[in-house]
Structure 1
Amino acid sequence: MTRTLLVAGHGMVGHRLVDQLRALDTDRTWRIVIAAEEHYPAYDRVGLSSYLDGKSKSDLTLAGADLLNDPRVDLLLGCPVVSVDRAARTARTAHDDRIPYNALVLATGSRPFVPPVPGRDLSGCFVYRTFDDLDALRAAARPGRPGVVVGGGLLGLEAANALRLLGMRPHVVETGPHLMPAQLDAGAARVLLRHVTRLGLRVHCGTATASIDAGADGKVRAVTLSDGTVLEADVVLFAAGIRPRDELAGTMDLERGERGGIAVDDLCHTGDERVWAIGECAAVNGRCHGLVAPGYRMADSVARQLTGQTPEPFDGTDASTTLKLLGVEIATFGTTGPDDGPAVEAVFAEGSDRYAKILLSRHSGDLLGGILAGDTGSLTTVRSLIGRRPPADLEQLLLP
C-alpha cells in the first residue's frame, strides 16, 4: 500500500531527504509531496554568490529532470505549509489545500537575523538568503560605490563577495574579535583576513552597527559603528546569522528548543512518532546546526528510518566542515573538547598564509580535532587520525 510523505520545505536539506528516499525506496512504497515556500525548486544556497558571477538559476538548481518528472513526487512551489492537524494527520497550505500524510518531515530551514538597529528598514537595506534577495541587490548595486555587510561569519563573507562581484567596495562589520568567530580561532582568522584584504574587503572587527543613516532622499547614506566610525554606504547587507523557522511547532503543539528550533532527538523525531524535523529548523537535543553537512546527515538518517533500514543517530559533536571562502580553504575537524580530560593545543604556522592547529588529549595523546586554514594538507588524511596518536611526521601532513 502506498503511503504519503509530506516534506514541508524544499531547501538543500529537504531535497537531500527526497533524493535519498527515492534511492532507498526500491519497492516504491512512498508517494512524496513537497510543499515549498519559494517559487523555485531547491538550489545550491551555499554557492549563491556565484549567481552574481554569471551562473543562472538553472545552473544552481539541485532538482533535475528525474525528480521533476518522477510520478511519485508532487512538488508544490510557492505553497508552504501553514498549519498541521496532528490528530487528523493533515496539513493546510497557504493556498488552503489540505494534504493528508502518513509521515511528515519539517525542513523549513531558517530566516536571516536582522539586528534591531535604527534604520534597518531604510531603502537600500537587504538580506542575503534567496534568489529574490540577490535580484533586488543586483538592481540596487552601483559599481565603484561602497556597501556594508553586517556580520563577519560564513554568511557575511559570502555576502561581501556578492558585493565585490557586483563591483562594489565592501566593508564587513563583525562584533566578535575576528572573522568567523564561531568556527575559527584567531590564528586561522588572521590567514583569512590577510587574503580577503588583498581582494579589497575592508574588515572592522570588535565593533557593532549602531545605526544606519539616511540621506536627504530617505535612502541609506552611511553606517555608524559603535566605536564612532562612520562608513559611507549605498547599500547595507544583513548577514548577521540565522534563526530557525520553527513557527509550525506552535501550530502543532510541539516542543521547541531552549534557543528556538523544533525539538527533536538524535533520530530527528519530534514528540510525535509520525513527525520529524531536519536541517536548520531542528534543535537536535537542544542544539541547532547552521551548516548544510549536519543537515544532510539528518536527512540521510530519516530516509533510512522511512524505508525500514537501521538509521545512524545524528551525532552533533563532530563539527567537521570544509569551506572555500573567497579562495581560502578552511577546515575544522573532530571535536574541540576531549572525552577523557583537558586538551593540549599544538599550533603549526608558515608565514601568514598557512595555519594549522590540533588538539590532543592530555591523558592519552590521541588526536581530538583541529583547524586548518590556507594551503594545508589533506583533511581526509588528517581526519583519519582522530582517536589515535599522531605520527611523527604530523607537521609535514599538516603543512606539506
Structure 2
Amino acid sequence: MTRTLLVVGHGMVGHRFVEQLRLRDPGRTWRVVVVGEEHHLAYDRVGLSSYLDGKSRGDLTLVGAELLNDPRVDLLLGSAVTAVDGDSRTARTAHGAHLRYDALVLATGSRPFVPPVPGRDHDGCFVYRTFDDLDALRAAARPGRVGVVVGGGLLGLEAAGALRLLGMSARIVETGPHLMPAQLDAGAAEVLHRHVTDLDIGLHCATSVASVDAGADGRVASVTLGDGAVLDADVVVFAAGVRPRDELAAPLGLARGERGGFAVDAFCRTADERVWAIGECAAVDGRCHGLVAPGYRMADSVARQLTGQVPEPFDSTDTPVALKLLGVTVATVGSVRPDPAQAVEAVFTEGTDRYAKVLLSRDGGALLGAVLAGHTGSSALIRSLVGRRPPADLEHLLLP
C-alpha cells in the first residue's frame, strides 16, 4: 500500500532528502508531496554568489529531469504550508490546497536575521538569501560606490565578495572580535584579516551598527556604528546570521529548542512519531546547525528511517568547514573547542600567510581537531587523521 509523505520545504536539504528517499525506496512505497515557498526549483544556495558572476538560475538548479518526471513525486512551488493538524494528519497551503500525509518531514530552513536597528527598512537595505535578493542588490548596486555588510561570518564574507563583483567597495561590520568568530580562533582570523584587507575591504570588528541613516531622498546614505564612527554607504547588506523557520511548531504542538527550531533527537524525530525535522530548522538536542553538510547527514538519516534501514544518529561534534572565501582557504576539522582539561594544542605558522592549530588528546595524543587558514595542507587529509595519533611529519602535512 502506497503511503503519502509530505515534505515542507524545497531547499538544498529538502531536495537531498527526496533524492535519498527515491534512491532507497525502489518498491515505491512512498508517494512524495513537496511544498516550497519559492517559485524556483531547489538550487545551490552555497554557490549563490556565482549567480552574480555569470551563472544563470538554471546553472545552479539541483533538480534533474528524472525527479521532475517521477510520477510518485509532486512539486508544489510558490506556495507555503500555513496550517497543519497533527491529529488528522492534514496540512493546508496558502493556495487553499488540503494535503493529507502519513509522515511529515519539516525542511523549512531559516530566514535572514536583521538586527532591530533604526533605519533597517530604508531603501537600499538588503538581505542575502535568494535569487530575488541578489537580483534586487544587482539592480541597486552602483560601481565605485560603497556597500556596508552587517556580519562578518561566512555569509558576510560572501556578501562582501558579491559587492566587489558588482564593482562596489565593501566594508564589513562584525560584533565579534574578528571575522568568522564562530569557526576561527584569533590566529586563523589574523591570516584571513590580512588577506581581506589586502583586497581593500574595510573591517570594523568588535562594534555594531547603531543606525542606518538615509539622505534627503530617503535612500541609505551612511551607517553609524556603536563606537561612533560613520561609514558612507550606498547599500547595506544584512548578513548577520539566520533564524530557524519553526512557525509550524505551535499548530503541531511541538516543542522548540532554546534558540528556536523544532526540537528533535539525534535521529531528527520530534515528539510526534510521524513528524521529523531536518536542516537549519531542526534543533538537534537543542542546537541548530546553519551549514548544509549537517543538513545532508540529517536528510540521509531520515530517508533511511522511512525506508526501514538502520540509520546513524546525528553527530554534532563532526561539523567540518572547508571553504575558499575571497581567495583564501579556511577550514575546521573535528572538534575545535574540546574541554581544555582533556586537550592540548599545537600551533604551526609561516609568516602571516599560513596558520594551523591542532588539538590533541592529553591521554594518548590522538588528533581531536584542527583549524587551518591560508595555503595549508588538505583539510580532507587532516580529517582522515581525527581519532588517531598523528604521524611524525604532521607539520609537513599542515604546512607543505
CA pair 340-145 structure 1, distance change in 2 beyond 3 A: closer
- Deviation per residue, 1:41-89 (Å, 9 max, x gap): 1111111111011110000111111111111111111111111111111
- 8 Å CA contact 1:341–1:361 kept in 2: the answer is no
Q: Residue 363 of structure 1: CA displacement?
A: 2.1
Matches within 5 A, 1:105-254: 105-254=105-254
The corresponding residue for 1:10 is 10
Matches within 5 A, 1:82-121: 82-121=82-121
- Equivalent position SS for 2:251: helix
Name the CA distance, whole Å, in 1 between partners of 2:340 and 2:185: 23
Q: Residue 200 of structure 1: CA displacement?
A: 2.5
Name the CA distance, whole Å, in 1 between partners of 2:170 and 2:105: 39
- 8 Å CA contact 1:376–1:398 kept in 2: the answer is yes
Name the CA distance, whole Å, in 1 between partners of 2:338 and 2:118: 43
- Equivalent position SS for 1:300: helix
- Structure 1 position 348 matched with structure 2 position 348: yes
Q: Residue 284 of structure 1: CA displacement?
A: 0.2
Name the CA distance, whole Å, in 2 between partners of 1:292 and 1:240: 17
Name the CA distance, whole Å, in 1 between partners of 2:314 and 2:292: 14
The corresponding residue for 1:329 is 329
- Equivalent position SS for 1:390: coil
Q: How many residues align?
A: 400
- Opposite residue 237 of structure 1, the aligned amino acid is V
Name the CA distance, whole Å, in 2 between partners of 1:349 and 1:96: 60
**Scaled by the length of structure 2, what TM-score is found?**
0.98
Name the CA distance, whole Å, in 1 between partners of 2:77 and 2:112: 21
- Structure 1 position 24 matched with structure 2 position 24: yes
**Identity across the alignment (%):** 75
- Equivalent position SS for 1:288: coil
- Equivalent position SS for 1:23: helix
- 8 Å CA contact 1:342–1:361 kept in 2: the answer is yes
- Structure 1 position 399 matched with structure 2 position 395: no
Name the CA distance, whole Å, in 2 between partners of 1:337 and 1:118: 36
- 8 Å CA contact 2:336–2:371 kept in 1: the answer is no
The corresponding residue for 1:77 is 77
- Opposite residue 366 of structure 2, the aligned amino acid is D
CA pair 109-329 structure 1, distance change in 2 beyond 3 A: same
- 8 Å CA contact 1:119–1:211 kept in 2: the answer is yes
Name the CA distance, whole Å, in 1 between partners of 2:339 and 2:146: 47
CA pair 86-177 structure 1, distance change in 2 beyond 3 A: same
Name the CA distance, whole Å, in 2 between partners of 1:146 and 1:341: 47
- Structure 1 position 39 matched with structure 2 position 77: no
- Equivalent position SS for 1:247: coil
- Deviation per residue, 1:116-158 (Å, 9 max, x gap): 1110010100011001111111111101100100000001011
CA pair 211-337 structure 1, distance change in 2 beyond 3 A: closer
- 8 Å CA contact 1:255–1:263 kept in 2: the answer is yes
Name the CA distance, whole Å, in 1 between partners of 2:384 and 2:138: 43
Q: Residue 201 of structure 1: CA displacement?
A: 1.3
Q: Compare 340-349 and 75-84 and name the one that shifted more.
A: 340-349
- Opposite residue 44 of structure 1, the aligned amino acid is D
Q: Residue 100 of structure 1: CA displacement?
A: 0.6
**Scaled by the length of structure 1, what TM-score is found?**
0.98
- Equivalent position SS for 1:179: coil
- Tell me, which stretches of 5 or more residues in structure 2 are unaligned? none
Name the CA distance, whole Å, in 1 between partners of 2:319 and 2:264: 18
- Opposite residue 257 of structure 1, the aligned amino acid is G
Q: Compare 317-326 and 179-188 and name the one that shifted more.
A: 317-326
Q: Residue 337 of structure 1: CA displacement?
A: 4.4
- Structure 1 position 367 matched with structure 2 position 367: yes
- Deviation per residue, 1:174-223 (Å, 9 max, x gap): 01110000000111111111222222211111111011111011110000
Q: Compare 60-69 and 111-120 and name the one that shifted more.
A: 60-69
- Deviation per residue, 1:248-289 (Å, 9 max, x gap): 001111000011110000000000111000000000000000
- Equivalent position SS for 2:167: coil
Name the CA distance, whole Å, in 2 between partners of 1:30 and 1:200: 53
- Structure 1 position 257 matched with structure 2 position 248: no
- Equivalent position SS for 2:183: coil
Name the CA distance, whole Å, in 1 between partners of 2:138 and 2:54: 12
The corresponding residue for 1:307 is 307
- Equivalent position SS for 1:20: helix
Name the CA distance, whole Å, in 2 between partners of 1:172 and 1:380: 30
- Opposite residue 35 of structure 1, the aligned amino acid is V
CA pair 339-217 structure 1, distance change in 2 beyond 3 A: closer
- Tell me, which stretches of 5 or more residues in structure 1 are unaligned? none
Matches within 5 A, 1:286-305: 286-305=286-305
- Opposite residue 102 of structure 2, the aligned amino acid is N
- 8 Å CA contact 1:340–1:361 kept in 2: the answer is no
- Opposite residue 116 of structure 1, the aligned amino acid is P
- Equivalent position SS for 2:129: coil
Name the CA distance, whole Å, in 2 between partners of 1:134 and 1:240: 16
Name the CA distance, whole Å, in 2 between partners of 1:229 and 1:47: 33
